Amino acid sequence: MMSPRQAQFRAVYRAQIAPAYHGLIHVALIYLIGGAALWYAACQIHDATLAQWLVVPAVVVLANLFEWLLHAQVMHRPRRGLMGIYNRHTLAHHQFFTQDAPYHDTTRDYRIVFFPPYALIAFLVMAAILGSILATLWSANAGWFVVCAAACMYMNYEFFHWCCHVQDDRILRRVPFVNTIRRHHIAHHNTAIMMHRNMNLTYPFADWLFGTSDLNRGLLGHLFNGYGTRFIRGDMPKPRSGDRPTPVMAGE
Ligand SMILES: [Zn+2]
Ligand SMILES: [Zn+2]
């Protein structure tokens, strides 16, 4: 159910997308750059030790904290020099997608679903700097593992966020982690909680850690919550009809 205000925002936003824009090319570019970075970095790794492999889970956790921090403190807070990110997310993405109407219609809407490819390049540059520091202090393998894991996490983020805004959930609702983040993120699109709740976009680890989730349960329960609404905190706004993804029925 879409409000007239949201419908008007969508019409105006769509009208200003360049005619030459192609959603599938946008996505292909992201996965080409991310895939090339992953492939190149992986080719540089030789005879890795277990300790060097452990860089991967460390980067997964770091990326999760970074995604939470960026979303909570930049994408939803106007910061000098970073206003473009705030405008694009709070003032555009959250107007285009609300908890009542969170789905995109055509691949041209990918313009507002996926980040521009330069965001991935900026993220890879940050990973490369961190990797170089680690390579200098410890080992080249560890440095390349940072780049590999960062590229994977970025592509993971874009895929999961797309899963949140795609309409057909017949398969997605049964996929662990994807169903969790889908409910988590669609709830985040409720304007009443979007500034301070459900800031993770991949796995709700940092939201659990910092108490910014709309759920009241432990870490494993958070990660595998799926569409469940049983543990939603009592002080969260009550869902209206169509507000939340329909829970999977028992026996379905
Ligand atoms: Zn979103
Ligand atoms: Zn947001």
pLDDT per residue over 180-222, tens digit each?
999 999 999 998 999 999 999 999 999 999 999 999 999 999 9
State the distance from the centre of ligand 2 to the C-alpha of 71, rounded, in angstroms: 6
Which uninterrupted H or E stretch holds 235?
A: none
50 Cβ neighbours under 8 A, 6+ residues apart: none
Cα first-last separation, the chain = 25
State the distance from the centre of ligand 1 to the C-alpha of 88, rounded, in angstroms: 11
State the distance from the centre of ligand 2 to the C-alpha of 123, rounded, in angstroms: 18
Return the pLDDT at 252: 31
State the distance from the centre of ligand 2 to the C-alpha of 141, rounded, in angstroms: 35
State the distance from the centre of ligand 2 to the C-alpha of 186, rounded, in angstroms: 10
Return the pLDDT at 235: 84
Return the pLDDT at 240: 53
State the distance from the centre of ligand 2 to the C-alpha of 138, rounded, in angstroms: 37
The partner residues of 215 in beta bridges, in order of sequence, read 232
Return the pLDDT at 243: 43
SS3 152: helix
C-alpha R_g of the chain: 19
> For the chain, which ranges sit under pLDDT 50?
241-252
CA–CA dist 131, 53 (Å, integer) = 13
State the distance from the centre of ligand 1 to the C-alpha of 122, rounded, in angstroms: 20
